[in-house]
Structure 1
Amino acid sequence: MSELHHEVSELEKKSATAARLFDIRRIIGGLFTLYGVIVTLAGLTADDAAIAKAAGVNINLWTGLSMLALGLFFLVWLALRPLTPPAPPTHEESDQNGQDG
């Protein structure tokens, strides 16, 4: 019985690690931050002709900064509120579930 309990706890740890690894906030935050840096750099190196095309607004710079801010927001949110796996059912709860059906 102890070996089974050990295997179950190992699987729960792996599941929690996988859930944290594939948290959508990490993916969105990382991509927006990466693309935000790239677009911001494009905006910083924009020439006058490109700015004139956009009615005098350096659209790459403002879009890049916005994307960077959004990406950092998601990453900070992830750091402040990490994903916690649900608690495993207790022995009493699993007995009740078995009697219901």
Structure 2
Amino acid sequence: MTDDQPAPRKAGAFDIRVVIAALIGFYGVVLTVMGLVVDTAADRAKTGDVNANLWAGLGMVAVAAAFAISARLRPVLVE
């Protein structure tokens, strides 16, 4: 690297993994809250006595955390 070239910077919020993590995380939190608050016997009967909103929400939160950790540990460098 010479003096006339700027040092590479991190992509930060423009990294697609951050955007994906935010979207999946938001929907995951909404589904988790819905699974905890609005859980009726009719909903459980449709899914074979499984709280589908809760489990799907928790899975989405876990995937969002994986994306966020990946973006944090291995940032994209922009020239």
TM over 0.5: yes
Matches within 5 A, 1:73-84: 73-84=66-77
User: 1-side partners of 2:78 and 2:72: how far apart?
Assistant: 15
Aligned residue for 2:16?
A: 24
User: 2-side partners of 1:21 and 1:64: how far apart?
Assistant: 24
Shift of residue 53, structure 1, vs aligned partner? 1.4
Q: Relative contact order (alpha carbons < 8 A, sep ≥ 6): 1 or 2 greater? A: 2
Matches within 5 A, 1:8-87: 9=6, 16=9, 19-45=11-37, 46-86=39-79
Count of equivalent residues: 75
Task: Map Cα deviations across residues 43-96 of structure 1 (whole Å, 9 max, x no partner).
Answer: 11211221111111111111001100000110011111112124xxxxxxxxxx
Task: After the TM superposition, list the runs of 4 or more consecutive aligned residues in structure 1 that deviate by more than 2 angstroms.
Answer: none
Query: Which structure carries more strand by proportion?
Result: 2
Q: TM-score, normalised by structure 2?
A: 0.80
Q: Which runs of 5+ in 1 are unaligned?
A: 87-101
Query: Which structure carries more helix by proportion?
Result: 1
**Structure number, greater radius of gyration:** 1
